[in-house]
Amino acid sequence: MNIRQRTYKFLLLSIAVNCLLIIANCHGQLSNKQGISTISIHPSGTLFTFGLPQSSTIPSGFQQSVFSYTPFPFTVFPVNTSINRQGKTEFSGLIGSFDLGLNVSKLLKNDRIFRCEAGVYYACVPHSYAIGNDYQFLLNNKTASIWQNTISYSGLSASLTYTSKSLGRRTWGEARNYAQFGVRTMNYLDKSAENQEDWVFNGKGFKIQSEVISRNAFLFFLELGKTYWRRVDDMRSLDMGIRVGIPTNSFVSNTFTGYNNNQATGANNILENGAYFGFQMSYHLPLVQLQKEKPKIKKADRIYCEMERKVTVKHRYRITENELKIQLYDHENEDEDEVSVCFNGQYILEKYTLTRRPKIITLKFLPNQQNILTVFAHNTGKEGANTSAIRFVLSGKTEEIILYADKKEAEGIEFLY
């Protein structure tokens, strides 16, 4: 088994593992915007690859071109096919780009994701050329009119990715748009065309002179697409997008010379550089979660003002501001309910008779500790239980809470700032 065959088997195994990981994680949740960051492994593959147009010239002395470039889609994944001299189809290797990266991802406070990645890759880029009508010939009783060529290369890659805010839940998880910009080192490996090939039959056809003119280059790429979160706590996600890769220089020079009646009648010189665009699919598998330690929540020395009464905290809220205005009122008929309001172990309102008109109170919170608001009853009014209504606005949403109390028990609200 040669190196290319071993490489193909390894890549096929990587693709299979990638597909299994995608299938195994099929339920998405919305992110909790906690600023989490992770280190992830990132396998990626180009499912459909199209070669971009290459430079083509006609040498002096010829009046007609032999080949014209046609971007031919290689949609049979992951194997490319070509026609041999006997008119039979043969396999010529994997088509596409296969990446394995390691990245650090961060969910920013503005609900966008920033990702920095480095990795390795293997690519095999296709190009196709249509033979002019004057040079067509028959192979196994079939008209031969398309010549397919590929270039293989590998190297290192680095990229930066930035996403939009969450677009909400979709079929495959929480969706975001993303843009990825990166660079690759391109180290030439192989080409499908032989150095010299003779495809002249019955006086018609062409000959190829293929030469490697450079073995190293750089490629810049841009990818646009959507990412779908699989789980909120570790940044597991599926990416799908369109990638365009543009190299800095060419690898191979191919000269195609056409023959008619065994006479050379035209030629093309075509430079191939590995430029391509394709449909990219990838998966982020978290390895390590990097997250700042959550501050420890300190229990206040004194929480309740009336220690002899049983207090039940039935409502809890996380807040981002250090103070909050609340409205205290009687949401039912005014029946002379008399209450005292306790906050963090101190009375902020004493023996107040509830009315339908709200009483505005400002709460100032202590960071990283329990902030408890409790309403204690001094009577049960004229219509049964003592009930207090508390209303406030949190993150643009109005919250209204009804607290019940008597001379033995009371209910409270906890705020975590």
Encoded tokens for 193: 């065309």
User: Which of the 8 DSSP states describes residue 83?
Assistant: E
End-of-domain residue from the set 290, 318, 344: 290
pLDDT digits (tens, 9 = 90+) for 313-363: 888 888 888 889 999 998 877 778 888 888 888 888 888 888 888 899 999
Residue 16 in any domain: the answer is: yes
**Is residue 410 within 8 Å of residue 385, measured between CB atoms?**
no
> Does residue 167 share a domain with residue 31?
yes
Asked if residue 78 has a cis previous peptide bond (ω within 30° of 0), the answer is yes
Domain co-membership, 223 together with 324: no
Q: Are residues 66 and 198 in the same domain?
A: yes
* 205 in the same domain as 169: yes
Q: How far apart are CA 49 and CA 155, in angstroms?
A: 19
Instruction: Report the pLDDT value the prediction gives residue 11, as an integer from 0 to 100.
Output: 46
Could you tell me if 17 and 143 lie in one domain? yes
Q: How many domains does the chain have?
A: 2
Domain housing 392 = 310-416
pLDDT less than 70: residues of the chain: 1-35, 55-64, 68-83, 89, 91-93, 170-172, 230-234, 291-304, 306-308, 381-385
- Does residue 263 sit in the same domain as residue 341? no
What gap in Å lies between CA 74 and CA 70, rounded to an integer? Answer: 12
Indicate whether 320 and 278 sit together in one domain: no
Say if residue 139 is in the same domain as residue 247: yes
Query: In this structure, what is the dihedral angle of CA atoms 2, 7, 10, 12, given to the nearest 10 degrees?
Result: -110
Strand partners, 310: 409
Same domain? For 282 and 324 the reply is no
In a domain, 304, yes or no: no
Whether residue 378 is contained in a domain is answered as: yes
Tokens of 170: 């979709």
Let me know whether 314 and 278 are in one domain: no
Do 252 and 334 fall into the same domain?
no
* Residue 300 resides in a domain: no
Tokens of 37: 């960051």
Report if residue 77 sits inside a domain: yes
Shared domain for 244 and 108, answered yes or no, is: yes
- 298 in a structural domain: no
Task: Dihedral sign for Cα 263, 131, 70, 96, please.
Answer: negative
